[in-house]
Structure 1
Amino acid sequence: MTMYRRPVSNTWWLERKPYFFFVIREFTSLFVAGYCLFLLVFIAKAGDSQEAYATLILSLKSPISMVLHLISFTFILYHAITWFNLTPKIMVLHLGEERIPNALIAGAVYLSWGVVSLIISWLILGG
């Protein structure tokens, strides 16, 4: 006997707002992976030679590169924010019998993100 499989359209994710935002968040993972790949290439070029590094830096100053970085930044920021907002739903914490509020968990994640960002900025800028 064959099991019945309900047909699902290719646009199922457009039918409800939460589905749409879920698919968009998953799509932004491509930008996260792409930027990680870019950073690996950047590190490799920085270690190759001064000419290779200078060529890469020059290409990063082009308008196309600026636009691509802005688009990537926007998608990566959206990905991070939506992921951090999911944290309280994924990680349910209790203090004794009482559940810790979602806002407190999300706030702790955002605070950690800010502190780590400040430390990295301080290290990069020569604090």
Structure 2
Amino acid sequence: MTSTQSKRKPYVRPVEKGWWLKNNFYIHYMLREGTSVFVSIYAVILLVGLLRLSQGASAFQGWLNALSHPLSVLFHLVVLAACLFHAKTWFELAPKAMRIMHGEEPIPDKPIVLAQYIALAAVSLLVLIVALVA
């Protein structure tokens, strides 16, 4: 036995599978983190759409036809709900992650969250206008 090895076993704390189900904070955290999977899947779907667009009109039309399938529409509704929940929790988290000071006092969370919702509405309206005009 070398001098760096120990005769004692390290203590390994037993962890139950559903440890996070016992605390509302952890449930909320796991739900928020779980929604990122849906956001990632949707990003891949959009990238596939760009790939199909680069392959020509017929490939892109096939991708659009696949999106019109009822299971695809249902999946997109689930993804929309997950994205909205993800955005809501992200907006609520932002003021805690980066404190903005006004003099010696931090700006309260509510105006920061409200500003994010206003920016989201403005950008969404702009994208809608551009999409309708084009």
Q: TM-score range by the shorter chain?
A: over 0.9
Among 22, 30, 39, which residue is 1:23 paired with?
30
Aligned residue pairs: how many?
Answer: 127
User: What is the aligned partner in structure 2 of residue 92 from structure 1?
Assistant: 99
RMSD (CA atoms): 1.4
Q: Is residue 14 of structure 2 the alignment partner of residue 7 of structure 1?
A: yes
CA deviation map 1:56-75 (0-9, x unaligned)? 11121111111010011111
Question: Equivalent residue of 2:133, what SS?
Answer: coil
Q: CA deviation at 1:3?
A: 4.7
Q: Is residue 48 of structure 2 the alignment partner of residue 41 of structure 1?
A: yes
Segments of 5+ residues of structure 1 without an aligned counterpart are none
Output the amino acid matched with 2:90: W
CA deviation map 1:39-59 (0-9, x unaligned)? 000011112111111111112
> In structure 2, what is the Cα distance between the partners aligned to 1:8 and 1:124?
51
TM-score by length of 1: 0.92
Q: Is residue 130 of structure 2 the alignment partner of residue 126 of structure 1?
A: no
TM-score by length of 2: 0.88
- Return the index of the structure with the highest Cα Rg: 2
Q: Percent identity?
A: 36
Among 67, 75, 83, which residue is 2:90 paired with?
83
- CA 1:111–1:2 in 2, change beyond 3 Å: closer, same or farther? farther
Segments of 5+ residues of structure 2 without an aligned counterpart are 1-7
